[in-house]
A and B are shown apart, each in its own frame.
Chain A
Amino acid sequence: MNKRDIIIGLLIAVVIGMALSPFASSFPDGLEWVAEKMGFIAKGEVAPVVKSPVPDYAFPFVNEKSVWATSLSGLLGVLIVFLAAIAVGKLLIPKK
């Protein structure tokens, strides 16, 4: 895997995260559906224990309803997980 492969792979992820993410279904997911049916969904609607900087993929400073809110979150997330996974991997490689 050379630099070119990495860039192509990252670009694919960026395109999915930015261009497709606004079209994602907003139906409840499997767990939420079960929680609704079983009547415990409200238990999860409490304030989060730790506040996140970008809750629910709504990018700050952008109108929540615009597609950019989700797209920019996609871009941000793709870059963060990429760097985080590389960092974890590098730490695990034995030093020569």
Chain B
Amino acid sequence: MHIPDGFLNAPTWIGSGIVSLAGLGFILGKIREKLRDKTVALMGVMSAFVFAAQMINFPIAAGTSGHLLGGVLAAVLLGPLPAVIVITVVLVVQCLVFQDGGVTALGANVLNMAFVGTLLGYGVFSIVRRIFRTPAGFLLAVFLGAWFSVVAGAATCSVELWLSGLVPLGLSLGMMAGVHALIGIGEGIITCLVVSFVLKARPDLVAVLNEETRHE
């Protein structure tokens, strides 16, 4: 759902750019004291993985395709704030180097995928995780969080399309959320597969679990 140049009108892309910049400023300030070398190395590897995975569009119904966003994947493995930075780095490089997402729409794309998708998806993950405290419940939380991240990002995108005068809000929201509800299933499956793999291979790298053991 990378928005190209030309879709959004100036008030919408400038407005969403300001919101994203303010959000990044807040996160960079908040993360500054807590970041360790280990997390930085993981951020690098995670960014590389998310970039590669985002290249792999998988077909869904009716001649459409989708690809991983990776926000909830990064948030479960790194924590939500480093995850926002990871997804932002990926979006900036895609935009500036590969023309994937317009430069004028970069703020909106960061807002939709790095902030709304990642943070709300992680919120859903955290809630479901607390309800079902079993290994299967953990994966259910990962799936639902990942699924929700795509739908929430798409819903925010649909509001921007509406604000730009392209399409009525209800129609925009219905179509964007509808098609991304399907893409989100792919997001959920891939995220569950990768998280299960890391849980088996290197459970010490899963930030969410590390925090829980520290608190207990």
Residues of A bordering B, CB below 8 Å: 1, 5-6, 9-10, 12-14, 16-17, 20-21, 23-35, 37-38, 40, 43-46, 48-57, 70, 73-74, 76-86, 88-90, 92-94
Binding site of B, secondary structure by majority: helix, strand, loop or mixed?
Answer: helix
Q: In chain B between 52 and 73, which residues have their CB closer than 8 angstroms to a CB of chain A?
A: 52-53, 55-59, 62-67
A16 to B64, CA, bound (A): 21
Are A49 and B103 also in contact (CB < 8 A) when A30-B179, A77-B93 are? yes
Are A55 and B99 also in contact (CB < 8 A) when A17-B52, A94-B32 are? yes
Binding site of A, secondary structure by majority: helix, strand, loop or mixed?
Answer: helix
Residues of B bordering A, CB below 8 Å: 1-7, 28, 31-33, 35-53, 55-59, 62-67, 82, 85-86, 89-90, 92-100, 102-104, 154, 157-158, 161, 166-167, 171-172, 175-176, 179-180, 183, 202, 205
Q: Which residue in B6, B59, B90, B180 is a CB contact (below 8 Å) of A43?
A: B6
Smallest beta-carbon distance B91→chain A, Å? 10
**B35:A93 contact, CB within 8 angstroms:** yes
**A86:B7 contact, CB within 8 angstroms:** no
A31 to B102, CA, bound (A): 14
Chain A residue at minimum C-beta to C-beta distance from B42: A1
Please, could you name 24 A-B residue pairs with CB atoms under 8 Å apart, sorted by A?
A1-B45, A5-B205, A13-B52, A16-B52, A24-B56, A25-B57, A30-B1, A30-B66, A54-B98, A55-B98, A56-B99, A73-B98, A77-B52, A77-B98, A81-B51, A82-B45, A83-B44, A84-B93, A85-B44, A88-B43, A89-B39, A89-B82, A89-B85, A92-B35
A90 to B90, CA, bound (A): 17
Number of A-B pairs, beta carbon distance below 8 Å: 218
A30 to B38, CA, bound (A): 36
Residues of B within 8 A of A48 (CB): 4-5, 99, 102-103
Residues of B within 8 A of A12 (CB): 49
Residues of B within 8 A of A56 (CB): 98-100
Chain A residue at minimum C-beta to C-beta distance from B202: A5
Smallest beta-carbon distance B60→chain A, Å? 8
Q: Which residue in B47, B63, B97, B158 is a CB contact (below 8 Å) of A54?
A: B97
Are A78 and B179 also in contact (CB < 8 A) when A21-B56, A28-B63, A57-B55 are? no
Residues of B within 8 A of A30 (CB): 1, 64, 66, 154, 176, 179-180, 183
**A1:B52 contact, CB within 8 angstroms:** no
Are A31 and B157 also in contact (CB < 8 A) when A49-B104, A80-B93 are? yes
Smallest beta-carbon distance B68→chain A, Å? 10
Residues of A within 8 A of B45 (CB): 1, 5-6, 9-10, 13, 82
